[in-house]
């Protein structure tokens, strides 16, 4: 049996304990994921970054479109809160203070949700969503990324890769520039990030799955997710829009969503 020096064994043990303590469970799918960053710190940081993005952006002054974003967002948010309460997981989103804004940028086909429920939609995606239900597909998907803590997961991976296993406070104090850039890239916030830490196909599929359930609980027909993704894929042409740049192959995504619709329909019909 191999023997290891005491300091190496201790380091290995500490590393194992760290990884185990950093594991979290994704709602609905039950997958274990790596979260080394405290939710409270991420929510605080997300509020600062969200306000920064809004200050640098032009908010839409189209009352009809703005009201649509807020209306759909509030319904998805309520469905999210209901879902967590029914699962006895209220504490998971107890620090969420929902906010929905529409950014005037017709060239950006995108939307995102930060920890704490800060959501931004770009006007460029509205021609593809077409109506409330299409927008519910997008917002359900983005809110699903947030409650599944996919941003925490890929920011954790980004910090580990670039700065090592340091706490967020330490990373911010010693490497504020790279840490903030990793944060913005992890959450896809803004059109001028420079680079984007890609969601894995697994994370994208989870967001599709959870998003279907959230939109269904909010009273939107989950079957309409199929024509939305078909429209999105058609818009992409040879070069996919930013919103599809890291997503699964169109046919694969639609086939998987199709298989998940019966589960979502139970939520839709059981309201």
Q: What would the pLDDT profile of 96-127 be if each residue is shown by its tens digit?
A: 999 999 999 999 999 999 888 999 999 999 99
Question: By CB neighbour count within 10 A (0-12 exposed, 13-18 middle, 19+ buried), where does 132 fall?
Answer: middle
| DSSP per residue, 97-164 | --EEEEE--TT---EEEETTTEEEEEGGGHHHH-SHHHHHHHHHHHHHHHHTTHHHHHHHHHHHHHT-
Q: How confident is the model at residue 194 (pLDDT cuts 50, 70, 90)?
A: very low
pLDDT in the model for residue 264? 97
Residue 167 has pLDDT above 70, yes or no: no
Mean pLDDT of 230-256: 70
Residue 161 has pLDDT above 80, yes or no: no
Residue 8 has pLDDT above 80, yes or no: no
Mean pLDDT over each residue of the chain, to the nearest integer: 79
Do residues 77 and 143 make contact, with C-beta atoms less than 8 angstroms apart? yes
pLDDT in the model for residue 244? 57
Of the listed 64, 99, 130, 142, which one is catalytic? 142
Mean pLDDT of 138-156: 87
Distances (CA, A) of 158 to 74, 162, 196, 234: 31, 6, 11, 32
How many residues in total does the chain contain? Answer: 271
Half-sphere exposure (CA, 13 Å, Cβ side) for 59? 16
pLDDT in the model for residue 66? 98
Does the reported pTM lie above 0.95? no
pLDDT in the model for residue 240? 53
Residue 146 has pLDDT above 60, yes or no: yes
Known catalytic residue: 260?
no
Residue 145 has pLDDT above 80, yes or no: yes
Report residue 207 as tokens.
């967001």
Question: By CB neighbour count within 10 A (0-12 exposed, 13-18 middle, 19+ buried), where does 249 fall?
Answer: exposed
pLDDT in the model for residue 76? 98
130 or 197: which carries more pLDDT confidence? 130
Report residue 108 as tokens.
């950006």
The domain segmentation of the chain, as residue ranges, is: 29-269
Q: How confident is the model at residue 184 (pLDDT cuts 50, 70, 90)?
A: low
Residue 56 has pLDDT above 90, yes or no: yes
Mean pLDDT of 116-143: 96
pLDDT in the model for residue 243? 54
Residue 44 has pLDDT above 90, yes or no: no
Alpha carbons 153 and 163: distance in angstroms, whole number: 15
Do residues 111 and 140 make contact, with C-beta atoms less than 8 angstroms apart? no
């Amino acid at each position: 049996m191999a023997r290891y020096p005491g300091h190496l064994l201790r380091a290995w043990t500490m590393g194992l304990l760290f990884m185990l303590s950093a594991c979290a469970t994704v709602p609905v799918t039950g997958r274990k994921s790596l979260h080394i960053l405290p939710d409270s710190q991420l929510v605080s940081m997300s509020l600062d970054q969200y306000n920064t993005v809004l200050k640098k952006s032009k908010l839409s002054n189209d009352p009809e479109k703005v009201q649509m974003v807020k209306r759909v967002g509030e319904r998805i948010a309520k469905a999210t809160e209901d879902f967590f309460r029914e699962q006895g997981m209220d504490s998971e989103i107890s620090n969420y203070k929902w906010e929905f804004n529409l950014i005037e940028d017709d060239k950006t086909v995108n939307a995102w949700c930060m920890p704490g429920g800060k959501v931004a939609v770009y006007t460029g995606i509205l021609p593809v969503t077409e109506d409330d239900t299409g927008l519910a597909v997008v917002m359900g998907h983005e809110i699903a990324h947030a409650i599944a803590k996919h941003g925490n997961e890929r920011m954790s991976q980004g910090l580990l890769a670039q700065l090592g296993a340091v706490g967020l406070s330490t990373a911010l104090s010693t490497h504020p520039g790279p840490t903030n850039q990793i944060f913005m890239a992890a959450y896809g916030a803004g059109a001028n990030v420079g680079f984007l830490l890609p969601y894995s196909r697994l994370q994208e599929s989870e967001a599709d799955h959870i998003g279907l359930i959230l939109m269904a609980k909010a009273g939107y027909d989950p079957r309409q997710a199929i024509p939305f993704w078909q429209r999105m894929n058609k818009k992409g042409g040879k070069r996919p829009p930013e919103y599809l740049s890291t997503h699964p192959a169109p046919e694969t995504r639609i086939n998987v969503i199709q298989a998940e619709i019966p589960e979502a329909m139970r939520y839709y019909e059981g309201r």
